[in-house]
Amino acid sequence: MCPPSHFEVTYSINPWMEPDKPTDAPLATVQWERLRALLVTLGHRVDVVSPRPGLPDMVFAANAATVVDGRVLAARYRYPQRSGEEPAYQAWFAEHGYPVLRPRYVNEGEGDMLPTGTRILAGTGFRTDERAHAEAAEYFGLPVVTLRLVDPYFYHLDTALAVLGHDEIMYYPGAFSPESQAVLRELYPTAIQAGAADAAVFGLNAISDGRHVLLPQAATHLTERLRAAGFEPIDVDLSELLKAGGSAKCCALELRDQESS
């Protein structure tokens, strides 16, 4: 995770971002700190990357890479406004002894690449280049399922789909092309499907450890469905970060180290 010390909305690279609307970095930091403390309380280790000035989206650590079995596929951002984050996160991985591959194609890390226990679900359409999916499949030696995003408000896969457990997901069908909706129905016939209202408050941008699911309480139906399915939903309010088009999941890049999995 990376604290939102320099958080603001100074440019617009997704429809949620309105640079004219004021932001409050101290409030963002309070909300972020609550999320960090909650993860620690639940027994997870949280490493913190130093924020750098001039990189207001650096708080969205999930976009920095995809990590599977200790191997790191770094990000290559679509927009120049975020490319300064690449060396910052790569340096952290290098300092901590992780092997890092810099990708050839645009790849926004766990924003668009969501590993399940058996495969990687990969988004494309707005940010990550479809060719990056094959690159990830080759690097990790895992099957990668390409999913096409069609609604600009759900520009990253992790805004429309969350991995809940080994082979369980929840998603908002409206964010995907008809073909990708069919793929999801086929692969996950029993998945929890979210409606437009829960998706619009970033209910799908959730962090799950297989039991606890951290999501905004405003996603009321989703919260009920998760509880009915045996999960423990926990409310996290990241209203400030929503102004940049991000919420809980965007803030945490999963390292999947043996000890924390």
Interaction site with ligand ARG (CB under 6 A): 13-14, 17, 57, 60, 62-63, 82, 111, 156, 158-159, 244-246, 250
Closer by beta carbon to ligand ARG, 17 or else 88: 17
Residue 51 Cβ vs ligand ARG, minimum distance, rounded to whole Å: 15
b/e sequence 174-194, b meaning 16+ C-beta within 10 Å: bbbeeebbebbeebbeebbbb
Q: Which residues, at least 6 apart from 180, have a Cβ–Cβ distance to it below 8 Å? A: 146, 147, 148, 149
- Burial class of residue 11 (count of CB atoms within 10 Å of its CB; 0-12, 13-18, 19+): middle
* Shortest distance, position 230 Cβ to ligand ARG, whole Å: 26
Asked if residue 213 lies in contact with residue 192, where contact means CB atoms within 8 angstroms, the answer is no
Instruction: Give the residue with the Cβ less far from ligand ARG, 12 or 229.
Output: 12
Report CA-CA distances (Å) from 94 to 98, 100, 205, 252: 6, 7, 28, 18
Please confirm, yes or no, whether 250 is among the known catalytic residues: yes
Selection from 70, 184, 68 nearest residue 137 by Cα: 68
Q: Which amino acid is at 180?
A: S
In whole angstroms, the minimum distance from the beta carbon of 207 to ligand ARG comes to: 11
Q: How far is the CB of 189 from ligand ARG (least distance, A)?
A: 26
Catalytic residue chosen out of the listed positions 44, 156, 212, 251: 156
Residue 108 CB, nearest distance to ligand ARG (Å)?
7
| Closest to ligand ARG by CB, 63 or 128 | 63
Nearer to ligand ARG, 44 or 156 (CB): 156
Q: Which of 2, 44, 212, 250 is catalytic?
A: 250
Judged by CB, which is closer to ligand ARG: 148, or 229? 148
Active site residue 6: no
Q: How far apart are alpha carbons 200 and 251 in whole angstroms?
A: 18
What residues are labeled active site? 156, 250
